[in-house]
Structure 1
Amino acid sequence: MKVTVNDDEYQFDAPLTVHSLLIFLEQPQSGSALAVNQVIVPRPQWSQYLLQDGDNIVVFQAIAGG
């Protein structure tokens, strides 16, 4: 299965959850937000949300500022 994460393509064996993807990418989960195909996936769903072939994922970090 091929997915795109922040404009980079990755190949994985299915099934893959959002949580597993973030572990693979070594992305911290605290302070992170994630959208799959332009739809925000709430953090409580990350461990059950299965990614599909062709999904476009955007991972971003919350930034404090003023």
Structure 2
Amino acid sequence: MRIIVNEESVECSSALSVSALLTQLQLLRPGMALALNQQILPRAQWDEQLLQDGDAILLFQVIAGG
């Protein structure tokens, strides 16, 4: 299965959750936010959201300020 992570193609096994993929790629860090197919995916859903072939993930660092 092919997933796009930050505009780079990644081959992975099927039935992989978002958090499992990020752990496998060593990208799971505090303060990260994620968009799956251009929709923000709440972190509480990362463990249960299964990826599909062709999905696109965009990771970004959350920055707070005033």
**TM-score, length of structure 2 as denominator length:** 0.89
Superposition CA RMSD, Å: 1.4
In 1, Cα distance between equivalents of 2:50 and 2:42 = 13
SS of 1:21 mapped into structure 2: helix
SS in 1 for 2:19: helix
Structure 1 runs, 4 residues or longer, greater than 6 Å off = none
Identical columns (%)? 48
Q: Hey, what does 2:15 align to over in structure 1?
A: 15
In structure 2, stretches of 5+ residues that fail to align are none
Mapped partners of 1:65, 1:44: distance in 2: 23
Shift in Å at residue 28 of structure 1?
A: 3.4
Which digits, 9 at most, give the CA deviation of each residue in 1:9-61, with x for residues without a partner? 01111011010011012123310000110011101111000010000110111
What is the number of equivalent residue pairs in this alignment?
A: 66
